[in-house]
Structure 1
Amino acid sequence: MKRFCFIACFFLIYKVSAQDIVNLSEYLITNVSINTQSELLSVIDDDNNQRYSIEAANNLRTKLSANYKFLGLGFGFSPHTSNRKSKFLEARVNVFLKQWILGANFSRIKGFYAQNDYLQNVQTDFPDLKSTRYTLSTSYNFNDKFSLKHLIQKNEWQRTSAGSFVPSFTISYNRIFDLVDNEKYKQHNYDFSILPTYHYTWCIDNNWFIAPSVTPKAGVRFSSNSKAKNTFFTRGFNFRLQFGITTERVAVGAIFNFESNNINYKSVRRTINDRNHGQLYFAYRFDAPKFLERTVEGIERKLGI
């Protein structure tokens, strides 16, 4: 009987301790990633009655980020990879407040070029076309046994398998600007979207994990240019698969996104659609410098977090 009680207590203690999510927020986490994300624009040429796609010629993007405590900052850019020059810049801020995740993102892309060369009598290159986007988002994690920080911020380490429903709401403003035959073209898009995402992290052994997620999307877009104003619904679906290895100091992995977006194009000349893409990342956790530790702890005391 004593032996049975000892074995039962051992497994109970092991299970309870294994369920803990390891907090690594005392470290300063630096992260570098390379991804193959790109943007497409759908162009409708009324004169030639043709519709075709153009894309930014920067299929390889580099993103750098630093995360500490509840705050995450990121910056992205793309090197020139062909004679067709496209520019990409991105800045990101994430704030984690208990189960809430707040995000703000800015991105700018300039230079779009035709995907196909068979088009005739159509100007298919738009080197001056710029797309500027501002996005605000808020999400809530319903299960405190699941760590979204493990997947995004890298300042937690989930040790046992768990999943959670994480609904999100996003607001974005997208401005498209072009100069064609000395005539300015401007389009303003305001998007409001609901994304009811479900995440699951399957932990393998102690360090390896696989984390799929599915996200149906629904929203509304208000679009306007010099000729017309339009209101229509948007919808989409995203499947995300992340896998990697986590230790106390290092996080390495890959992310694959499979995305589909649907918009009524009849009255809209140009709209942006994200494509399927992959990402490789490497993160390392440094001991935070004292001045950063004091500054952030002072902010936490003032905000009561």
Structure 2
Amino acid sequence: MNLKSSVGLLFFLFTALAKAQTDTTRIKSYADQVMVRMNLDTNIDQFIFTEGPEDKQLETILMTNNKTRLSFSVDYRIISATLSITPRFLPGNNDNELKGTSSYTDFRFRFFPKKFIQTVYYKNIQGFYLENMKDLFPDWKEGKDPYFQFPNLRVQSYGGSTAYVMKKDFSLKSIYTQGEWQKESRGSWVPIMDYDLSIFRNLIDGQKSKETQYSFGGSMGYFYNWVLGSKKRVNIAPNISLGAGGMFSSSWDILDDGSKANRENTEYFIFKFSAGLHIGYNTDRFLFGGKFNVNANVYNETENQSVQNNNIFGLLYIGYRFPPPKVVERNYDKVQKKIPIL
């Protein structure tokens, strides 16, 4: 299924389920439990550069060569932490001869004070390849000829987002981290602010280059949680959001003596789109399910040049909840007295 088909399916589910919205709900909290999860996911970062008039557009698509990640997460009360790695023993991570080597690290925290959800993250990606070789080089043979590779292209991102749930009895936490379980179907509008600092570094033919991008924006999303079954243990939760923002970019070449040359400063208007679908099964102890999310940021460099950064994310998870060790509960209570927001 391609990107356009996936987005269309998610939008159809979103609109169909939103019509079934009810007015009452109950939420079961697992804040007093520790939840550990193991996740297996595909997380593809993609940059699409489009150049030329609409009837003669030329696309260049850069992608990372790590398709399957293993991550572990721990949740307790309002804190959620996840550490992700890309082990080489997983299928799909070993075609380095054709696509080169990529590395991917993602570390993020989520906090849930009141009706807010605060996310902060750090992401480090290195190693890209030219995905659409056949479009640019007709004689290229897939599976036999290597892709053009950019092993020194590195992207580091430091960022976060702040979301606010407008409906009192809607649990976004039940979709994000499964720290709660919503027992009756409900939907909510969710305004989101996001902010990011990304640093691009590259080395081509001995020439170093660097670019920093400061971006910020706002989106309005709608999330719906459809709860099924006689025991209310299954949920289907689609979401969609649209937004816009700005980006300030500064790029330059680094000479041998460390000085900067060919410096350029530019500003861009960014269009944002995201959609997702979560399907899960939940009991008080065991839980499992899957997610699919698409995020896209698009901006025009010139009248006939545009850049699109896509993140396509799919995940399968299995988890277990248990009462916290007394030492953890006691120390958390001490910290909470000093920091009431926790």
Residue aligned with 1:228, SS: strand
Give the CA deviation at 1:199: 0.8
With over 3 angstroms needed to count, the CA separation of the structure-2 counterparts of 1:117 and 1:250, relative to structure 1, is: same
1:239-285 Cα distance to aligned partner (Å, 9 max, x none): 21111111111221111224443211439999661243321111211
Choose which of 178, 200, 210 in structure 1 pairs with 2:236. Answer: 210
The aligned counterpart of 2:66 is 58
Matches within 5 A, 1:283-298: 283-298=319-334
The aligned counterpart of 2:113 is 97
Contact 1:78 1:89 in 2 (8 A): yes
The aligned counterpart of 1:171 is 195
What amino acid maps onto 2:243 in structure 1?
K
What amino acid maps onto 2:332 in structure 1?
V
In 2, Cα distance between equivalents of 1:204 and 1:41: 38
Give the CA deviation at 1:77: 1.5
In 1, Cα distance between equivalents of 2:338 and 2:157: 32
1:228 aligns with 2:264: yes
1:208-254 Cα distance to aligned partner (Å, 9 max, x none): 11111111021111111023111111113222111111111122111
With over 3 angstroms needed to count, the CA separation of the structure-2 counterparts of 1:241 and 1:43, relative to structure 1, is: closer
1:30-75 Cα distance to aligned partner (Å, 9 max, x none): 1222222211234689xxx975121110111222110101111111
In 1, Cα distance between equivalents of 2:193 and 2:266: 22
The aligned counterpart of 2:157 is 133
Paired residues in the alignment total: 285
The aligned counterpart of 2:122 is 106
The TM-score, its normalising length taken from structure 1, stands at 0.86
What amino acid maps onto 2:250 in structure 1?
S
In 1, Cα distance between equivalents of 2:327 and 2:303: 54
With over 3 angstroms needed to count, the CA separation of the structure-2 counterparts of 1:39 and 1:114, relative to structure 1, is: same
Residue aligned with 1:230, SS: strand
Residue aligned with 1:276, SS: strand
- Gapped runs of 5+ residues in structure 1? 1-15
1:20 aligns with 2:18: no
1:138-168 Cα distance to aligned partner (Å, 9 max, x none): 1111112111111122221111111111111
Matches within 5 A, 1:54-93: 54-80=62-88, 81=93, 82-83=95-96, 84-93=100-109
The aligned counterpart of 2:17 is none
The aligned counterpart of 1:198 is 222
With over 3 angstroms needed to count, the CA separation of the structure-2 counterparts of 1:163 and 1:243, relative to structure 1, is: same
In 1, Cα distance between equivalents of 2:179 and 2:313: 25
In 1, Cα distance between equivalents of 2:191 and 2:308: 23
Contact 2:300 2:307 in 1 (8 A): no
Residue aligned with 1:151, SS: helix
Contact 2:270 2:298 in 1 (8 A): yes
Residue aligned with 1:292, SS: helix
What amino acid maps onto 1:234 in structure 2?
I
Moved more, 105-114 or 221-230: 221-230
In 1, Cα distance between equivalents of 2:220 and 2:289: 25
- Gapped runs of 5+ residues in structure 2? 1-22, 52-56, 138-146, 253-262
In 2, Cα distance between equivalents of 1:58 and 1:249: 32
1:103-132 Cα distance to aligned partner (Å, 9 max, x none): 110000010011133446xx9311111000
In 2, Cα distance between equivalents of 1:203 and 1:19: 10
Give the CA deviation at 1:195: 1.6
With over 3 angstroms needed to count, the CA separation of the structure-2 counterparts of 1:302 and 1:179, relative to structure 1, is: same
In 2, Cα distance between equivalents of 1:220 and 1:237: 14
